[in-house]
């Protein structure tokens, strides 16, 4: 398929600013203790890294105070090739976050697929992007509190070229909290028991082989891998303060350009590095 | 034979008929004569290997006239003789021959004689064919002969069975058997087959009504000029409109039943890497299949992929985009997607423009490179429900079994993880290898809509497993051997083999035209919509025939391969009625075995393609032998001595009675015993053993065991209902049948087996009322269904030949020799007894004797004439000598470790000395159980004033190392003692034969 490439080729990143209401929950109420300024600072570092170090085109959607969780932009869309599936987050209140994202997608000439309410069958479907691990060859969808089977089905319908496997998420609250891609054939995964269970299932379900990079801390399991047009492997990972035990593991990736990027504030809110951005490949034949 | 060629040609009214057609048409005829077609098929193996040596030594041309002529004379007379008389005659011939070797040869000839008698016409037709065939077609000819042989043996089979059946009927039936084939041959019913090809065109082909699937398939491949044909197959729609694959080794008619003779040529095994296909034409056909799959929605893909694949298809068919020629709607005739939109068409055109300069072959390659990445590429989906009744889909593919719920993959079982695939009624089960942390294997069950669906998915699984599994990168060095050995899993070649074979393809790339795939002509699964004249659309290869032959030759290998494939499937067909505890226990012990079996590289074998092509019997042998991991032979000698006066009067008076008894019921070897005492004991014994076996289905667990139990089942039809009427132990007999039928109910197959008690008559039914019989069979089991059973039966025979046979070989020898020594006593006694005697061992050997010759080397020579000898030391020597001698010829491959231990009770043995007594009676009784085959050989000799009854029991314990052989042996000895409390055990010879793990080098 024209749209099957090794994982990691991205040209664009979409981020959304940290709102004033950071730390609040979409449905109302307070989340974990939040340091807005720090969160915004960390966000700034991330965007800077993506733009300047990795060399992606960055599209920043302005923050919206009405949408306290909108910074977790990963949840609202799943993008593969030139198709973007606008998801249906578990929290009703978060569904309006998609508005701005949808507009950007259209501007980028992506084929936007909705799994909204108009599809009668998907009425009960929920899907959040942070429960979706795309490996370049297939999709794994974590069945979690936020994502159900129906949601995964819609995803499978949208991306028909790929196998879509469902895996239980036991360790973290979302699939991406326990694992992420660390290269075209590399999965970084936490050493927690739950993560191991999920990994076993993934290994059973896949037709492909992946190298497994096992990290001690949960937070280290979520990284952002980008292979730049110049064929440089970039790995954005949490800093040494956040995951001291996992740094040596990352350092084994000798060919990589490692980019420690703090995300402690996002992590406190249940997010991670990858939660903060949507990655898009607009260039065919990366 | 050759002499009759002339007349035969006259008889033949259709000289223009292609030789191949004849060959093909003959084949079914014979098959119909066989007890069961599959049986015939399998026997081919046995007979082939049994006869091949002599055959090949003689010449590849028709048999030398002299023996043929002799046989003919004999045949001429014997044709009118009741079979038992005929038997007797040949038997007596045998007696006259001096050496064992001569004996063997005689037997062979006799066999041929019988074969030819019953099979006169077809055999002759064969010869004619052979004469006509051109030199370069020798291979076909040979194959012909091979088939003929198989036919022969297949025929021999029913004849023998009949011998066991009621004499009167038997005679009639045999006459029928002789005549039917000739009738059939004369009026070959031709049927027109319609095959929808992948480009939507129709191929029409006349086939004989009884032709096998393979024939039609080869015809189609020839028409298509396709050589890499193993990825493809023919399918048809059954009554429930389900797509079924046509089994190449089975008659078409039996498979399609009442459906139309309408087939679709399609890809069965989707090569995971199409770039590895050798020929463009193969890739082209695969493209056509995939385009069909995509257009029908069976292979889902995204918009982008639809567009891309569509554009490659356009490039392949139309060439470069031409602004002049290709107007906007030039692609409107193509279907790229189930729901084709204008938008898609535009995208396709856009992409098509970008492919400028790409050749059709390149476009096909690009098409396939993209299509193969689709997640549903090559996945054969089947509707099912999981244990909770939730709708799921089972997807069988190159890598294993995928489980889908809706469109989501919820589980996946790679082939290496699957220990067993089975089905039972409408349930389909897989047994999963335990993971690193798990202790026990787990079973996963699925509910299919019906029994046939379960069977279908099981079959597809077994086939895919076999076809693809052996290419696993873990054993790359053994690929060569794998290639050779992997035959046995399913009837075709595996991917590895077909790849290897493809490398031998040496022909200029055949010209073929890419037919325009019009949207209208697209039909799913070959429903005939538009018929493009198929005949000319593809260039038919000129150099095809020679190559064709090559591939033809593998058919016999297929057949022989099937045994093990079946064995394999037996393994999979495990009983599921056991308690969970039992299952677990068994699993624990057997998991290892199975694992090794599933993963086993069939022992590396040195034979190369050439060897296979010549159909060396060694191949057969090897396959057989490889099955039995370990054999143990136990002989028990029980002897009883009493005063002659008594016994003499006894025996003389008893003898005539026996004689009459025997001639009245010659079908019952178990019942025929010289000594009333022993008689009843043996009779009851054997009937005890059998129900036992049938009762506990546990047996099916281990490879060998399975086979053994099947053997028992098989034996049933041969010692059929008449048994019940015999004077001994009616009750046990009945019980036996009951247990059999209950057995049948518990197992799927059993449905078929339930009928087995009457199976001996089925033979005739097949001949006389083919339609009805077929319907009957089919009713019990779908066409494919029937085969495992049958195959099983025959594999059982093979198995027997590899394990039990050794004894039998010996016993025959013994018996046929002993009358020699003591013929006086006999002849004086009465006329009848010797006759029956002569016949008896024959009956016993009936089902297996054709394998004897080759198995003899394996035979453990601890057997002795009834004359008692004191030393047994020579045994191993003899064995070794004989073995090496023959092994150079046929059995070079399997290395077995043999060990013979003799325990003798000295005091009694002294009695016998070397002094030859006068043989009074001798008989052999065979019975099988779980994992043992017991051959009881009773001889009564008269020495001086003493009459000695010597019972020799040969117990073959077959099985894998997991069987406790010592215990089995002890049990066997104990049983023997119990059965003959008045006798003493004088000698126990334990012969242990273990197959060495690694062969070669």
The DSSP annotation for chain A comes to -TT---TTB-SEEEEEPPPTTBTB-TTSSB-S---HHHHHHHHHHHHHIIIIII--EEEEEPP-TT-TTTT-GGGGEEEETTEEEE-B-SSGGGGGGHHHHHHHHHHTT-EEEE-STTSGGGTT--B-GGGEEE-SSEEEEEESSS--HHHHHHHHHHSTTSEEEEEE--SSSSHHHHEEEEETTEEEEE-SHHHHHHHHHHHHH-SS--EEEEESSTGGG--EEEE-TT--EEEEE--TTT-TTTHHHHHT-TTSEEEE---HHHHHTT--GGGGEEEE--STT-
Q: Measure the CA dihedral B270/B271/B277/B280, to 10°.
A: 30
Can you tell me the distance from the alpha carbon of A28 to that of A34, in angstroms, rounded to the nearest whole number?
A: 15
Please give the pLDDT value at position B879: 39
A3:B304 CB<8 A: yes
B408:A157 CB<8 A: no
Please give the pLDDT value at position A71: 93
pTM for the model stands at: 0.54
B928 falls in which pLDDT band (50, 70, 90)?
low
- pLDDT at position B713 over 70: no
Please give the pLDDT value at position B140: 37
B406:A153 CB<8 A: yes
Please give the pLDDT value at position B937: 61
Please give the pLDDT value at position B317: 87
Beta-carbon contacts of A52 under 8 Å, excluding residues fewer than 6 positions away, are none
Higher per-residue confidence, B987 vs B148 = B987
Work out the minimum CA distance from B335 to partner chain A, whole angstroms: 18
B411:A205 CB<8 A: yes
- pLDDT at position B783 over 90: no
3-state secondary structure of B47: helix
Residues of chain A with pLDDT under 70: 1-4, 116-123, 171-172, 284-286
In angstroms, how far is CA B519 from the centroid of its own chain?
43
B943 falls in which pLDDT band (50, 70, 90)?
low
Q: Does A138 touch chain B (CB under 8 A)?
A: yes
What is the residue-averaged pLDDT of chain B?
55
Q: Does A149 touch chain B (CB under 8 A)?
A: yes
Please give the pLDDT value at position B376: 93
The two most distant CA atoms of chain A are separated, in Å, by 50
Can you tell me the distance from the alpha carbon of A122 to that of A115, in angstroms, rounded to the nearest whole number?
A: 7
A161:B301 CB<8 A: yes
Q: Does A81 touch chain B (CB under 8 A)?
A: yes
Q: Does A157 touch chain B (CB under 8 A)?
A: yes
Q: Does A131 touch chain B (CB under 8 A)?
A: no
Work out the minimum CA distance from A55 to partner chain B, whole angstroms: 27
Q: B492 to each of B57, B354, B463, B496, B847, how far by Cα in Å?
A: 29, 41, 9, 11, 27
Please give the pLDDT value at position B313: 92
Can you tell me the distance from the alpha carbon of B9 to that of B833, in angstroms, rounded to the nearest whole number?
A: 45
Please give the pLDDT value at position B189: 83
Please give the pLDDT value at position B257: 81
Average pLDDT over residues B672-687: 37
B373:A111 CB<8 A: no
Starting at the edge strand found earlier in the chain, the sheet holding A83-86 runs: A77-80, A83-86, A111-114
Interface test with A, best of B407, B435, B438, B444 (most A CBs within 10 A): B407
Residue B409: which of A3, A83, A165 has the nearest Cβ? Answer: A165
- How many other CB atoms are there within 10 angstroms of residue B45's CB atom? 31
CB B539 within 8 A of CB B514: no
Beta-carbon contacts of B600 under 8 Å, excluding residues fewer than 6 positions away, are none
Predicted confidence (pLDDT) per residue in B403-433, tens digit = 999 889 999 999 988 988 888 889 999 999 8
The chain A residue lying nearest B367, using CA atoms, is A1
Most confident of B193-207, B512-526, B824-838: B193-207
Predicted confidence (pLDDT) per residue in B951-975, tens digit = 777 766 665 555 566 676 777 777 7
Percent of chain B at pLDDT exceeding 70: 32
B334 falls in which pLDDT band (50, 70, 90)?
confident
Q: How many residues does chain B have?
A: 1001
Can you tell me the distance from the alpha carbon of B527 to that of B241, in angstroms, rounded to the nearest whole number?
A: 11
Residue A81: which of B304, B373, B375 has the nearest Cβ? Answer: B304
Q: Is A215 exposed, middle or buried (0-12, 13-18, 19+ CB in 10 A)?
A: buried
Residues β-bridged to residue B944: none
Average pLDDT over residues B705-717: 29
- pLDDT at position B398 over 60: yes
Residue B370: which of A1, A152, A162 has the nearest Cβ? Answer: A1
- pLDDT at position B1001 over 50: no
A contacts of B373 (beta carbons < 8 Å): 1, 4, 161
B409:A205 CB<8 A: yes
Q: How many residues does chain A have?
A: 286
Query: Which of B482-486, B521-525, B638-642, B789-793 shows the lowest mean pLDDT across its residues?
Result: B482-486
- pLDDT at position B661 over 60: no
**In degrees, to the nearest 5, what angle opens at C-alpha B457 toward C-alphas B455 and B461?**
115
- pLDDT at position B13 over 60: no
Work out the minimum CA distance from A272 to partner chain B, whole angstroms: 27
Most confident of A210-224, B704-718, B936-950: A210-224
Interface of B with A (CB under 8 A): 300-305, 308, 370, 373-375, 399, 405-412, 435
Can you tell me the distance from the alpha carbon of B396 to that of B400, in angstroms, rounded to the nearest whole number?
A: 6
Can you tell me the distance from the alpha carbon of B312 to that of B487, in angstroms, rounded to the nearest whole number?
A: 36
Please give the pLDDT value at position A18: 94
A contacts of B408 (beta carbons < 8 Å): 141, 149, 152-153, 156, 164-166
Average pLDDT over residues B556-571: 29
Query: Which of A184-193, B231-240, B925-934 shows the lowest mean pLDDT across its residues?
Result: B925-934
Q: Does A42 touch chain B (CB under 8 A)?
A: no
Higher per-residue confidence, B977 vs B962 = B977
The chain A residue lying nearest B401, using CA atoms, is A205
3-state per-residue secondary structure call for B814-881? HHHHHHHHCHHHHHHHCCHHHHHHHHHHHHHHHCCHHHHHHHHHHCCCCCCCCCCCCCCCHHHHHHHH
Please give the pLDDT value at position A122: 53
Residues β-bridged to residue B381: B395
Predicted confidence (pLDDT) per residue in B244-301, tens digit = 899 888 888 888 887 888 999 999 999 999 998 988 999 999 999 999 999 999 999 9
Average pLDDT over residues B475-489: 34
């Amino acid at each position: 398929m024209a749209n099957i490439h090794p994982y990691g080729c991205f040209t664009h990143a979409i981020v959304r600013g940290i709102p004033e209401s950071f730390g609040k929950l979409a449905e109302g109420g307070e989340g974990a203790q939040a340091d807005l300024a720090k969160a915004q600072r960390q966000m700034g570092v991330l965007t800077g890294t993506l733009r300047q170090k990795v060399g992606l085109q960055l599209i920043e959607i302005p923050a919206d105070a009405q949408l306290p969780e909108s910074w977790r932009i990963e949840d609202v869309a799943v993008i593969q090739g030139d198709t973007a599936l606008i998801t249906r987050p578990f929290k009703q209140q978060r569904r309006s976050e998609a508005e701005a994202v949808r507009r950007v997608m259209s501007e980028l000439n992506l084929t936007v697929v909705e799994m909204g309410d108009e599809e009668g069958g998907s009425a009960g479907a929920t899907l959040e992007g942070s429960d979706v691990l795309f490996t370049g060859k297939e999709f794994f969808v974590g069945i979690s509190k936020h994502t159900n089977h129906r949601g995964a089905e819609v995803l499978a319908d949208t991306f028909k070229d790929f196998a879509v496997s469902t895996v239980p998420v036991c360790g973290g609250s979302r699939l991406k909290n326990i694992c992420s891609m660390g290269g075209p054939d590399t999965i970084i995964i936490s050493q927690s028991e739950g993560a191991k269970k999920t990994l076993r299932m993934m290994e059973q379900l896949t037709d492909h082989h992946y190298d497994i990079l096992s990290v001690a801390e949960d937070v280290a399991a979520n990284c952002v891998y980008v292979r730049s047009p110049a064929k440089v492997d970039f790995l954005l990972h949490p800093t040494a303060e956040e995951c001291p035990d996992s740094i040596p593991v990352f350092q084994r990736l000798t060919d990589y350009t490692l980019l420690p990027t703090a995300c402690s504030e996002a992590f406190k809110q249940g997010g991670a590095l990858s939660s903060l951005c949507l990655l898009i490949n607009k260039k065919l034949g990366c | 034979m050759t002499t009759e060629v002339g007349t035969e040609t006259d008889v033949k009214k259709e000289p223009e008929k292609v030789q191949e057609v004849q060959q093909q048409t003959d084949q079914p005829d014979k098959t119909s004569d066989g007890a069961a077609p599959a049986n015939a098929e399998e026997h081919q193996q046995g007979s082939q290997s049994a006869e091949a040596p002599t055959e090949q030594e003689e010449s590849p041309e028709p048999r030398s006239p002299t023996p043929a002529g002799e046989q003919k004379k004999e045949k001429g007379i014997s044709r009118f003789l009741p079979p038992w008389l005929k038997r007797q005659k040949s038997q007596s011939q045998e007696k006259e021959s001096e050496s064992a070797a001569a004996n063997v040869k005689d037997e062979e000839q006799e066999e041929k004689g019988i074969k030819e008698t019953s099979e006169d016409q077809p055999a002759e037709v064969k010869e004619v064919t052979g004469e006509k065939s051109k030199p370069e077609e020798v291979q076909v000819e040979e194959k012909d002969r091979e088939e003929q042989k198989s036919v022969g043996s297949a025929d021999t089979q029913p004849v023998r069975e009949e011998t066991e059946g009621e004499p009167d009927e038997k005679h009639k039936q045999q006459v029928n058997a002789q005549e039917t084939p000739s009738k059939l041959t004369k009026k070959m019913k031709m049927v027109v087959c319609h095959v929808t090809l992948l480009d939507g065109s129709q191929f029409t082909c006349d086939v004989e009504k009884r032709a096998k699937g393979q024939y039609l398939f080869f015809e189609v491949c020839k028409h298509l000029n396709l050589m890499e044909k193993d990825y493809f197959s023919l399918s048809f729609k059954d009554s429930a409109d389900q797509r079924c694959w046509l089994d190449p080794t089975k008659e078409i008619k039996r498979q399609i039943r009442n459906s139309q003779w309408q087939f679709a040529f399609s890809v069965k095994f989707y090569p995971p890497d199409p770039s590895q296909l050798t020929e463009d034409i193969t890739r082209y056909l695969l493209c056509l299949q995939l385009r069909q799959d995509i257009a029908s929605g069976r292979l889902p893909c995204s918009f982008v992929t639809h567009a891309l694949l569509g554009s490659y298809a356009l490039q392949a068919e139309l060439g470069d985009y031409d602004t002049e020629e290709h107007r906007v709607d030039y692609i409107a005739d193509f279907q790229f997607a189930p729901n084709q939109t204008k938008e898609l068409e535009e995208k396709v055109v856009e992409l098509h423009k970008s492919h400028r300069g790409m050749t059709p072959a390149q476009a096909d390659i690009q098409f396939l490179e993209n299509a193969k990445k689709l997640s549903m590429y090559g996945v054969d989906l089947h509707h099912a429900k999981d244990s909770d009744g939730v709708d799921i889909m089972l997807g069988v593919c190159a890598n294993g079994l995928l489980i889908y719920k809706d469109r989501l993959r919820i589980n996946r079982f790679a082939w290496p993880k699957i220990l067993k695939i089975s089905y039972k009624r409408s349930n389909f089960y897989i047994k999963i290898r335990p993971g690193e942390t798990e202790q026990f294997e787990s079973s996963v069950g699925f509910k299919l809509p019906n029994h046939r669906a379960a069977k279908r998915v099981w079959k597809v699984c077994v086939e895919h497993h076999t076809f693809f599994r052996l290419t696993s990168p873990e054993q790359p060095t053994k690929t060569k051997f794998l290639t050779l050995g992997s035959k046995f899993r399913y009837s075709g070649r595996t991917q590895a083999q077909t790849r290897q074979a493809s490398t031998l393809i040496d022909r200029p790339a055949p010209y073929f035209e890419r037919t325009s795939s019009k949207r209208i002509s697209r039909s799913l699964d070959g429903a005939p919509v538009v018929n493009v004249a198929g005949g000319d659309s593809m260039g038919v290869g000129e150099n095809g025939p020679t190559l064709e032959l090559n591939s033809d030759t593998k058919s016999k290998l297929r057949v022989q391969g099937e045994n093990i494939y079946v064995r394999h499937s037996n393994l999979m067909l495990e009983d599921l009625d056991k308690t969970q505890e039992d299952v677990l226990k068994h699993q624990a012990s057997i998991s290892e075995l199975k694992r090794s079996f599933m993963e086993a590289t069939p022992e590396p074998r040195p034979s190369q393609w050439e060897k296979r092509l010549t159909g060396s019997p060694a191949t057969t042998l090897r396959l057989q032998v490889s099955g039995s991991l370990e054999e143990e032979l136990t002989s028990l000698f029980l002897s009883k001595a009493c005063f002659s006066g008594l016994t003499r009067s006894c025996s003389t008076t008893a003898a005539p009675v026996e004689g009459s008894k025997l001639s009245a019921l010659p079908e019952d070897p178990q019942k025929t015993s010289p000594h009333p005492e022993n008689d009843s004991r043996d009779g009851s014994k054997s009937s005890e053993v059998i129900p036992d076996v049938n009762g506990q289905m546990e047996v099916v667990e281990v490879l060998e065991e399975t086979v053994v139990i099947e053997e028992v089942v098989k034996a049933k039809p041969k010692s059929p209902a008449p048994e019940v009427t015999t004077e001994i132990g009616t009750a046990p007999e009945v019980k036996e049948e009951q247990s059999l039928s209950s057995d049948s109910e518990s197992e799927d197959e059993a449905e078929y087996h339930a009928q087995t008690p009457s199976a001996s008559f089925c033979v005739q039914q097949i001949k006389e009322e083919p339609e009805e019989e077929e319907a009957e069979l089919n009713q019990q089991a779908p066409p494919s269904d029937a085969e495992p059973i049958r195959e099983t039966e025959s594999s059982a025979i093979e198995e027997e030949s590899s394990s039990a046979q050794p004894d039998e070989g010996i016993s025959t020898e013994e018996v046929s020799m002993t009358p020699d020594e003591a013929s006086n006593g006999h002849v004086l006694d009465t006329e009848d007894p010797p006759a029956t005697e002569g016949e008896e061992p024959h009956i016993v050997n009936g089902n297996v004797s054709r394998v004897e010759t080759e198995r003899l080397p394996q035979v453990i020579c601890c057997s002795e004439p009834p004359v008692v000898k004191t030393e047994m030391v020579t045994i191993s020597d003899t064995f070794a000598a004989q073995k090496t001698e023959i092994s150079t010829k046929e059995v070079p491959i399997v290395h077995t470790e043999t060990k013979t231990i003799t325990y003798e009770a000295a005091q009694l043995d002294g009695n016998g000395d070397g002094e030859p007594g006068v043989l009074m009676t001798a008989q052999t009784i065979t019975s099988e159980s779980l994992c043992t085959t017991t051959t009881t050989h009773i001889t009564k000799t008269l020495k001086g004033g003493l009459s000695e009854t010597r019972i020799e029991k040969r117990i073959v314990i077959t099985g894998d190392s997991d069987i406790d052989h010592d215990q089995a042996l002890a049990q066997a000895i104990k049983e023997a003692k119990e059965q003959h409390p008045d006798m003493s055990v004088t000698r126990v010879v334990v012969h242990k034969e273990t197959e060495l793990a690694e062969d070669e080098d």
